[in-house]
Chains A and B, each alone.
Chain A
């Protein structure tokens, strides 16, 4: 009797296991795009019958959460998102599954993506490891009401013999930064700032200073990976950065990061800010900004720093086929467009100029332009270490504690050592 009962229970359990709905688990970062996808998930469930269990955590915790999952032979995430910082590390460690076979089998068109994003968070050494999920390239966000003010325009023209208009060159932008840095209440202290420096060591300063480097014609390395950031352009970029910190940016901005920079401009105390394009939506939100309707975004002269996340299927993924189904769905034109309509950060070329998207959000074509001209930060196994080491040197130089050339030489040397360690350069 007992045996029979046992048999029945076992059979029930087995059947239960078989008919249980298929489900996948994702690890995502807490950004608006994640929320938009969550809103669209019922459609995926209706189309495929697959449940999606989405775990959402903050950026700073993601790496420590991911690594134990990726090193074990079988993890619990079917698909993950990868920041461009980690692309070198994750692919070199062999944690991500190449997607080439699946792309070929299902005729998935990767030509829809902005080519710069496929370079950044897609292809590594001729293998496709990721599909670009969203981008956060850097640009100049500025006060268009100040720029369009006839009085300011006349004063600017009188002072510089130049029209006050959307900056196309570094020289124009720099003059505007100087022009709008002023003491509005005559107490002897500047209280309207031309720009906001984000000088905190590490990520914040490295990302922002990159825009200065590109604008002044510098690059991190040549095509053979030889570091070139300590070139004359690099020195000019860091000199300008130091000048901005001392004259055109709020006191204390040597320890600012993206959030502090955002708040200065959002409180109406600065003319411009070089920051991530995804920050723009925040300036249009009356809950967080005093300058709603008064700001606009434009490309950094010489191109801004490109940043992006990519979808990947880890080798430890328990259900790769279902994960791929999800990737194909979420990256289909229909869903990518819906996400853009909600305010997401697209990665496909056509979305930026889609008539419906442009009708809903008129600045999207400019975002496309920013992305098309964006420059790539060196992506290799030790990108994170480079950011840390260079970030420290840049901060020391910007605050005047270290000579500019010395700091850049030290950064270039640190970069060289990391490249040698990675096998990109020989000793």
Chain B
């Protein structure tokens, strides 16, 4: 009897917690497959699901543009931020560049509310014609992710990995060879985790995208918010759009699970 209880009890607890997380997502899916009338019906009325909302967001509303813009900006900003962050982190870890003050200063942009950063950026972008362009948004998102990534990566370049690097140097490798063939492969899970985080940061970012973007450079979060209209929330369309917006991150989850946890929790050596 005790064995049965101890086998079932954890599952009950797990099912309860999983439901807390999953039910809202499943409800979102249900609303996406119905219309506004049924979405708000209490008690809920079940009908044959349809994909009209999904069709509408991609035909009537420029959702494919938002999607493409989001993918471009998220990948673009990650490709720019990650190498820079790795170099910064390496420099902090090996040469203690600028000491603790510089490390803190790097973080200072993260300490301010983003709205304070966005106004000067707006002025700069206006003067350089970067407003309402994808390169502009990529630069803006790099300013958000770079300090964060650099701090995250410092821990991967510190610690016992130095010993490996020194061993490589003793074996005759140049510093660059040591970095390329020893440090980077060992720090790869960390790099990947940082890259994924950078992607998600950019994917979800709203304020910069709203103010610095425009008709040509609107990303998904800005597109999603446009379903909240003066005539009320277009709940069915919004749900369909939200499902589409969640999908890429959803597919990244397996990678995340494998690398992020490892990346965040361990140093380098096994």
A residues apposed to B, CB below 8 Å: 25, 29-32, 53-61, 64-65, 68, 72, 74-76, 136, 258-259, 262-263, 266-267, 276, 278-279, 281-282, 286-290
Decide: B227 and A58 in contact? CB cutoff 8 A.
Answer: yes
A1 to B126: give the CA distance in the assembly, Å: 36
A65 is contacted by which of B119, B211, B232, B233 (Cβ under 8 Å)?
A: B211
Residues of A within 8 A of B228 (CB): 58-60
A316 to B184: give the CA distance in the assembly, Å: 50
At the interface, yes or no: B250 with Cβ under 8 Å from chain A? no
Interface size class of B (residues with CB under 8 A): 20 to 34
At the interface, yes or no: B41 with Cβ under 8 Å from chain A? yes
Decide: B37 and A288 in contact? CB cutoff 8 A.
Answer: yes
Give A118 Cβ to nearest chain B Cβ, in Å: 21
Residues of A within 8 A of B115 (CB): 64
Residues of A within 8 A of B126 (CB): 72, 74-76
Give A310 Cβ to nearest chain B Cβ, in Å: 15
Residues of B within 8 A of A282 (CB): 231-232
Decide: B226 and A278 in contact? CB cutoff 8 A.
Answer: no
Residues of A within 8 A of B225 (CB): 57-58, 60-61
A279 to B226: give the CA distance in the assembly, Å: 17
A237 to B232: give the CA distance in the assembly, Å: 26
A32 to B126: give the CA distance in the assembly, Å: 30
* Known interface pairs A57-B222, A61-B222, A266-B40; 7 further A-B residue pairs with C-beta atoms within 8 A, sorted by A's residue number: A57-B226, A58-B229, A72-B122, A74-B126, A76-B126, A262-B232, A286-B37
A267 to B228: give the CA distance in the assembly, Å: 20
Decide: B132 and A31 in contact? CB cutoff 8 A.
Answer: no
Residues of B within 8 A of A276 (CB): 230-231
A59 is contacted by which of B37, B122, B207, B230 (Cβ under 8 Å)?
A: B230
Decide: B229 and A267 in contact? CB cutoff 8 A.
Answer: no
Q: With A61-B210, A65-B211, A68-B211 as given contacts, are A30 and B226 in contact (CB-CB < 8 Å)?
A: yes
Q: With A55-B215, A68-B119, A74-B126 as given contacts, are A288 and B132 in contact (CB-CB < 8 Å)?
A: no
A58 to B211: give the CA distance in the assembly, Å: 13
Give A311 Cβ to nearest chain B Cβ, in Å: 16
Residues of A within 8 A of B118 (CB): 68
Question: Could you say which of A29, A59, A288 has the most chain B C-beta atoms within 10 Å of its C-beta?
Answer: A288
Decide: B210 and A279 in contact? CB cutoff 8 A.
Answer: no
Question: Could you say which of B118, B119, B123, B229 has the most chain A C-beta atoms within 10 Å of its C-beta?
Answer: B229
A76 to B228: give the CA distance in the assembly, Å: 24
A262 to B230: give the CA distance in the assembly, Å: 12
Residues of A within 8 A of B231 (CB): 31-32, 276, 278-279, 281-282
Question: Could you say which of B210, B227, B236 has the most chain A C-beta atoms within 10 Å of its C-beta?
Answer: B210
Residues of B within 8 A of A278 (CB): 230-231
Residues of B within 8 A of A266 (CB): 37, 40
Q: Smallest CB-CB separation from A32: which chain B residue?
A: B231
Instruction: Jot down 22 A-B pairs with beta carbons below 8 A, ordered by A.
Output: A29-B230, A30-B230, A31-B230, A55-B214, A55-B215, A56-B215, A58-B228, A59-B228, A64-B115, A64-B207, A68-B118, A76-B126, A76-B131, A76-B132, A136-B230, A262-B232, A263-B40, A263-B232, A266-B40, A267-B42, A279-B232, A290-B37
Q: Smallest CB-CB separation from A257: which chain B residue?
A: B232
Give A63 Cβ to nearest chain B Cβ, in Å: 11
Residues of A within 8 A of B227 (CB): 30, 58
Residues of B within 8 A of A65 (CB): 210-211
Residues of A within 8 A of B41 (CB): 267
Give A396 Cβ to nearest chain B Cβ, in Å: 26
Interface positions, chain B 204-230, Cβ under 8 Å from A, are 207, 210-211, 214-215, 218, 222, 225-230
A282 to B225: give the CA distance in the assembly, Å: 20
Residues of A within 8 A of B236 (CB): 287
Decide: A30 and B211 in contact? CB cutoff 8 A.
Answer: no
A290 to B218: give the CA distance in the assembly, Å: 35
Q: Smallest CB-CB separation from A309: which chain B residue?
A: B230
Taken residue by residue from 8 to 39, chain B's Cβ proximity to chain A (1 for < 8 Å, 0 otherwise) reads as 00000000000000000000000000011100
A56 to B233: give the CA distance in the assembly, Å: 15
Q: With A76-B131, A279-B231, A282-B232 as given contacts, are A58 and B226 in contact (CB-CB < 8 Å)?
A: yes
